[in-house]
């Protein structure tokens, strides 16, 4: 995404009113190994709120502030999805700073564009950006296995989904509620390459309060799913996030099941 638009996209992310339920069985089946659970974005107080039940961090230095991201990565010491600038010079500078802070080793995925299908990107414009991201990352031994990640907004056009494109892909459609973890995900996965892994993004923030259980259950039976990344822990322009809207006790058990499975 063009970073100047990130705040506006957060305000629009996923559309209007709520459609999910927070009720249901309190019995959570054990998680299959290899899944990641984290929250979209970060903030000065976020890590303290969710650190006990995540095994993945997502942070945007161009949005959160570079020092905030470094501090969070240092404290969390977790695999990290890193929001990155699209300019290759700025990207190399950021990665160098993270190396100097001894946190680049935590980065497992770069996230240069948010909802590119809603901001005018096409394959012709997005693939060169992704190639530049990979070329810069190749200069850093810590990023030898780094992936490129994206979350698409609602819609059928998915720039960067084919060869040479993204490795980890997700979509957000918060108005769809449970259907985003069922039929809509089936449609989404039918467009993916076999090598691409899926990030599921339930809308736990206001106004949606989507039940995370269907997303968790789908992840247990779907080997293409790699990440559950709820939106959004922090408060934002449309209301309160999961950390303050009463949804934290609903989401936390699923995060614990994934991040702290029984030994």
Residue 82: strand pairing partners: 59, 110
Distance between CA atoms of residues 74 and 49, nearest Å: 16
**Cis bond leading into 251, ω under 30°?**
no
Max CA-CA distance within the chain? Answer: 50
Strands (E), 204-244: 225-228
In what order do the strands lie in the sheet containing 107-111? 36-37, 225-228, 197-200, 168-171, 147-152, 107-111, 80-83, 57-59
Tell the burial category of 217 from Cβ atoms under 10 Å away from its Cβ (0-12, 13-18, 19+): middle
Distance between CA atoms of residues 158 and 155, nearest Å: 8
**Alpha helices (H) in 101-247, listed in sequence order:** 123-137, 183-189, 213-221
Distance between CA atoms of residues 179 and 194, nearest Å: 22
What's domain 3-8+34-259's superfamily in CATH?
Glycosidases (3.20.20.80)
For the entire predicted model, the pTM comes to 0.90
Give domain limits for the chain: 3-8+34-259
The structure tokens listed for 251 are 């989401």
Between CA 183 and CA 192, with CA 189 as vertex, the angle to 5 degrees is 160
Q: What share of the chain is helix, strand, coil (3-state, %, to 5)?
A: 40, 15, 45
Per-residue pLDDT of the chain (263 residues; tens, 9 = 90+): 333 333 333 333 443 334 444 444 479 999 999 999 999 999 999 999 999 999 999 999 998 899 999 999 999 999 999 999 999 999 999 999 999 999 999 999 999 999 999 999 999 999 999 999 999 999 999 999 999 999 999 987 899 999 999 999 999 999 999 999 999 999 999 999 999 999 999 999 999 999 999 999 999 999 999 999 999 999 999 999 999 999 999 999 999 999 998 77
Strands (E), the chain: 36-37, 57-59, 80-83, 107-111, 147-152, 168-171, 197-200, 225-228
Distance between CA atoms of residues 222 and 113, nearest Å: 26
Cβ count within 10 A of residue 48: 11
Check residue 7 and give its pLDDT.
38
């Amino acid at each position: 995404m063009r970073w100047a638009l990130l705040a506006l996209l957060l305000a629009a992310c996923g559309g209007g009113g709520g459609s999910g339920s927070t009720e249901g069985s309190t019995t959570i089946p054990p998680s299959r190994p290899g899944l990641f659970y984290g929250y979209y974005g970060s903030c000065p107080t976020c890590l303290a709120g969710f650190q006990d039940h995540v095994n993945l961090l997502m942070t945007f230095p161009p949005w959160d502030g570079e020092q905030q991201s470094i501090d969070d990565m240092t404290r969390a010491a977790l695999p990290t999805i890193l929001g990155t600038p699209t300019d290759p010079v700025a990207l190399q500078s950021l990665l160098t700073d993270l190396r100097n802070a001894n946190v680049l080793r935590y980065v497992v995925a770069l996230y240069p564009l948010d909802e590119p299908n809603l901001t005018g990107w096409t394959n012709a414009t997005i693939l060169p950006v992704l190639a530049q991201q990979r070329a810069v990352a190749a200069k850093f031994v810590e990023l030898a296995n780094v992936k490129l990640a994206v979350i698409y907004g609602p819609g059928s056009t998915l720039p960067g989904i084919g060869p040479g494109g993204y490795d980890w892909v997700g979509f957000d459609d918060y108005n769809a509620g449970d259907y985003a973890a069922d039929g809509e995900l089936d449609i989404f996965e039918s467009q993916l390459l076999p090598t691409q892994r899926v990030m599921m993004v339930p809308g736990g923030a206001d106004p949606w309060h989507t039940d995370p259980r269907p997303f968790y259950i789908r992840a247990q039976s779907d080997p293409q799913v790699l990440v559950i990344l709820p939106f959004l822990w922090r408060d934002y322009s449309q209301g309160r996030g999961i950390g303050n809207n009463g949804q934290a006790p609903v989401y936390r058990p699923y995060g614990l099941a994934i991040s702290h499975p029984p030994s």
